[in-house]
Amino acid sequence: MEKQTTDDKVNLAEDDPLVPVSPKNVEAIGLDYGFLADLTLKAVSTDTNCTSEHIADKIKLPVPIAENLLQHLYRERLIEILQRESLQSHRYALLDRGWERVKQLMSVSGYIGPAPVSLDAYAAAVRLTEEARKPAKAEVVAQAFRDLVLPENALQTLGLVVDSRRSLLLTGPPGCGKTSTAKALHAALEGEIWIPYAIEVDRQVIRIFDPHTHEPVTTPAHRYDKRWIKIKRPLVIVGGELTIEAMDLIYSDTVRFYEAPFQVKSNGGVLLIDDFGRQRIAPRDLLNRWIIPLENRIDYLTLHTGKKIEIPFEQLLVIATNLNPRDLVDEAFLRRMGYRLTLTAPSIDTYALILRRYIAAHDLNYEPELLQTLLNRYRLENREMKSCEPRDLVERCLDICRYEHLPKKLTSELLERAWCNYFGT
């Protein structure tokens, strides 16, 4: 992405090409002046102590630009100047004419907040972030998977997934560690990314930043475009609640702006479709929705006006299922998946290693009879071992200790009680 001030590119810092540069004037913002003025007026209507600095902070633009927009509203007789604070700062209040204008604007769009960036600027930033991505480091991948006991060939495949960011179809029986593996993939992704609070298309606002999904990190000391926020690479998990409708723009008739769907919020990170095949819609219908994005790294979303927009589809997609994938998808879709990995039930040695690691993680003492107690139970009930069960059984032992005010410990008797509480036998 080149450094320039047109509306189809994002300005970037000289020392770090991923840091958005603060716009120097209104033209460098890349949005219609009237749209910015309307957003500023709505921001004034929410501020009982309205100063240029307050508005600049609310719409995330430099004070001189915010003052430029406020002066425009003053000349339009929508606001009045109550007091001069400094050379480039005043205290303002809404006039009756301004309140009438705000009422009209809110009937069209209720968005009040950081000024959005253009869709083109967002797409360019996502592309640049992907192009600047560094190769995965084997030691970082190994560290991310340190708590999982996986065969060497599985770790090799997962390392390739992290490095290539290609999609992964993860299969295996329930409790074999599919969700934990996907979360470890996320931990193996290095670096942080910049996302905008919102984007603008045809004067429509689409909110991207979600405090429930995105975790902000410390921002650089030098000036940057505060319409963007630096975050950790996101991890988005969706399961049985997934619907076709949830994969498109979410428009609210109440607030009259859009919320980005989950796959947009996951750009730059990991998107896990968990328990695939358990959704309320046919798996083939769901997967057909993903074919074009997987092929072209572009998704198509629809405004309520009917207009289609292109938006980047740049995340590590993981589809996890405990069903036979050939009963869910056709070969055409399987070809588009970057990698496939099947996790199996653990052997006795693997189960023992998982148990020892989890006991050690809780600073408890491991004794061989603990494993033997569990193996006897599995044989007695003819139950297949699962990778998640050592963790679950140890945690239930700790639950008993806590509830009964016992010292934190692990014994065969406690494991027997934990087994009965866990399996109901």
Where among 288, 309, 342 does a domain terminate? 342
Model pTM greater than 0.85?
yes
Q: Which two tokens stand for residue 353?
A: 């290693």
Residue 244 domain-assigned (yes or no): yes
Q: Does 179 lie in the same domain as 64? A: no
Say yes or no: 354 and 213 in one domain. Answer: no
CATH number at residue 378: 1.10.8
Residue 21 is assigned to a structural domain of this protein? no
End-of-domain residue from the set 55, 80, 115: 115
Does any domain span residue 22? no
- 308 and 165 in one domain? yes
Helices 389-403/412-423 angle, 10° precision = 110
Per-residue pLDDT tens listing for the chain (425 residues): 433 344 444 554 445 778 999 999 999 999 999 999 999 999 999 998 899 999 999 999 999 999 999 999 999 999 999 988 777 789 999 999 999 999 999 999 999 999 999 999 999 999 999 999 889 999 999 999 998 999 899 999 999 999 999 999 999 998 899 999 999 999 999 999 999 999 999 999 999 999 999 999 987 667 899 999 999 999 999 987 888 888 999 998 888 999 999 999 999 999 999 988 887 778 778 778 888 888 889 999 999 889 999 999 999 999 998 888 777 777 777 777 889 999 999 999 999 999 999 999 999 999 999 999 999 999 999 999 999 999 999 999 999 999 999 999 999 999 999 999 999 88
Helix 348-361 with 389-403: angle, nearest 10 deg: 40
Which residue shows structure tokens 């309320």? 280
Same domain for 363 and 389, yes or no, is yes
* Helical spans, DSSP H, in 46-89: 52-59, 63-75
308 in the same domain as 176: yes
* CA dihedral angle for residue 132, residue 138, residue 144, residue 146, rounded to 10 degrees: 180
Q: Which residue has the tokens 């970057």?
A: 338
Looking at the structure, tell me whether residues 333 and 381 fall in a common domain: no
247 in a structural domain? yes
Cβ neighbours of residue 331 under 8 Å, at least 6 residues apart?
none
Do 334 and 306 fall into the same domain? yes
**Residue 223 phi, psi dihedral angles, 5° rounding:** -65, 140
| Domain encompassing residue 368 | 348-423
* End-of-domain residue from the set 311, 342, 373: 342
**Structural domain contains residue 126:** no
Query: Does residue 208 share a domain with residue 74?
Result: no
Is there a single domain that holds both residue 330 and residue 409?
Answer: no
* DSSP 8-state class, residue 142: H
Whether residues 174 and 296 share a domain: the answer is yes
Per-position DSSP letters for 322-370, written without gaps between them: SS-GGGT--HHHHHHSSEEEE--PPPHHHHHHHHHHHHHHTT----HHH
Count: domains in the chain: 3
Tell whether 240 is covered by a domain.
yes
- Is 259 found in the same domain as 210? yes
One DSSP character per residue, 396-411 reads HHHHHHHHTT--S---
312 and 413 in a common domain: no
For 332-348, how does the pLDDT look when each residue is reduced to its tens digit (9 = 90+)?
Answer: 777 778 899 999 999 99
> pLDDT of 102-128, one tens digit each?
999 999 999 999 999 999 999 999 999
Q: DSSP letter at 247?
A: G
